[in-house]
Amino acid sequence: MRASSSATRSIALACLALLSGPAGAAQLAASVTDQDGNPLADAVVVAVPLQGVALHPPSAGREIVDQINQEFVPRVKPVFVGTPVFFPNKDNIRHQVYSFSPAKQFELPLYAGTPAKPVVFDRPGVVVLGCNIHDWMIGYIYVSESPYFAKTGADGKIVLGDLPAQAYRVRAWHPRLQGPESATQQTADLVGSGRAELSWKLVLKPEIRIRRAPVPGMRGHY
């Protein structure tokens, strides 16, 4: 599994080839658990070539983060830097999506349906999404500087295939990660065997998010 947009991947790989990176198809497998050893979903694993990453290519791909039942779907969306992302609203009420994150600050005025223009995420980093109408809505766009990334499923595992056979710095991130992402960094050398396996046991902080469940006397703030 690689960047979910095949177009983005193709362009990125082409750029890498132009950078005369090592040839060959290698594979990186990874598993992520929490501190108790339970498989961790929604963790993003990013592999950054030690020889440098491709120049940021203009992205022809597009990604989507839906709003369904007053939640962002998916809750965590990794994208390659420069990728435009649409935010279709599939609820029967208008949403107002925003972010204060340094990697991308934006606000989509109250809207229904799909905004005509996507939001382009042009700086690497974590972008926290919110909705100004429904305070409990929270989502994450992980903007990767490398085209080699994937998000874990319920089994906590990912496989990055068709990687150029070279050495990588690989790191893992999760919305509840305790401590800096840089502390998760490992090295994987795919030159020899063409395959490597990595694992992380991430220490997670408690998830204190704005509560959607009702509290007596507050009526959901409305």
Partner 1 sequence: MGNPTAAHAGSALALLALVAALALKWGEARADELFSAEGGVFHDNNLSRALSAADIVGDTALNAAASAGFLFAPGDRDIMTLTGDLRGTAFSRFHGMSSAALGATASWTRKFGLGAFAPWARISAYAADVWYDENVRNGWRTGVALRGGERVSERLDLSAGGSFERYRADSATAVVPGISGDAFTVLGRNLFARADYALAERWTGFGAVAGRWGDVTASTRIGPEIFEYSNAIAADPAFGSDYFAYRISGATTWEFLAGASYALGDRSSVNLAVSRALTYASGGIEYQSTRVNASLVFSY
Residues lying near partner 1 in the complex (CB under 8 A): 70, 91-94, 96, 98, 100, 107, 109-110, 112, 130, 132-133, 135, 206-222
Task: Choose among 81, 78, 75: nearest CA to 56.
Answer: 81
* Nearest residue (CB) to partner 1, 116 versus 218: 218
Task: Choose among 59, 213, 128: nearest CA to 221.
Answer: 213
What CA–CA distance (Å, rounded) separates 181 from 126? 11
| Least Å from the CB of residue 40 to partner 1 | 15
* Nearest residue (CB) to partner 1, 183 versus 211: 211
DSSP code, position 183: G
**Cis preceding linkage at 74, omega within 30:** yes
* Nearest residue (CB) to partner 1, 29 versus 108: 108
| Least Å from the CB of residue 215 to partner 1 | 5
**N- to C-terminal Cα separation, the chain:** 42
* Nearest residue (CB) to partner 1, 53 versus 137: 137
Residue with tokens 């500087």: 145
| Least Å from the CB of residue 42 to partner 1 | 15
| Least Å from the CB of residue 81 to partner 1 | 25
